[in-house]
Chains A and B, each alone.
Chain A
Amino acid sequence: GDSVTQMEGPVTLSEEAFLTINCTYTATGYPSLFWYVQYPGEGLQLLLKATKADDKGSNKGFEATYRKETTSFHLEKGSVQVSDSAVYFCALTRTTDSWGKLQFGAGTQVVVTP
């Protein structure tokens, strides 16, 4: 079945450091890929998405590129802020699903210190 694997956290880094969170997936066909962010006590917010190979999703300084050859969708940000402290979830959905079931990774907690 489909699965998403992302690096374990917590990831702790200093403000203005470079952030990478690795995400790889297993799925048949051509899934859509997502990164969601969850701030403490809140629901999930869509951070970015990509729907086909070589697409790059970007938002709020975060980027991720859909790499079909390596089945990866790594999240990157060049200079993190304290406000980026959150849990980040990589997810996929099969576009052949009529109702769009999301398969989540386990989540990676990111802690940014001043």
Chain B
Amino acid sequence: DAMVIQNPRYQVTQFGKPVTLSCSQTLNHNVMYWYQQKSSQAPKLLFHYYDKDFNNEADTPDNFQSRRPNTSFCFLDIRSPGLGDAAMYLCATSTPGTGSYEQYFGPGTRLTVT
């Protein structure tokens, strides 16, 4: 089945130690998104890629970076995690250019910062 895959599902890192979360998709969608979600609040958009074009939300901290080496993969890098960065990180994809605007989400990576 076509899907959005996130690895790992659970990640523990130490305060200040860089960490990378990964997302892959078999949907061949051209837009990929990264969200941060805390305590069943609404997901907060960090940034998105439209093909290779990177778009940062204005309030996303510089500590968060992203890479998209090809259509299928996208990475979230947290350069120096703080305790406040502990959250669920969700990857999503969509293909709005076709007129279909729904986003397809992965299962998420739960990040713990110790």
Binding site for B on A (CB under 8 A): 32, 34, 36, 38, 41-46, 49, 51, 87, 89, 93, 95, 97-102, 104-107, 109
Contact = CB atoms under 8 A, between A and B. Distances in A.
B90 A44 contact: yes
A100 B103 contact: yes
Interface of B: 4, 6, 31, 40-43, 45, 48, 50, 55, 90, 92, 94, 96-97, 99, 101-108, 110
Contacts, number: 61
B103 A102 contact: yes
Given A95-B101, A100-B101, A44 B40 contact: no
17 contacts: A36-B105, A38-B40, A41-B108, A42-B107, A42-B108, A43-B6, A44-B90, A44-B105, A45-B105, A49-B102, A97-B96, A98-B97, A99-B50, A99-B94, A100-B101, A102-B103, A106-B41
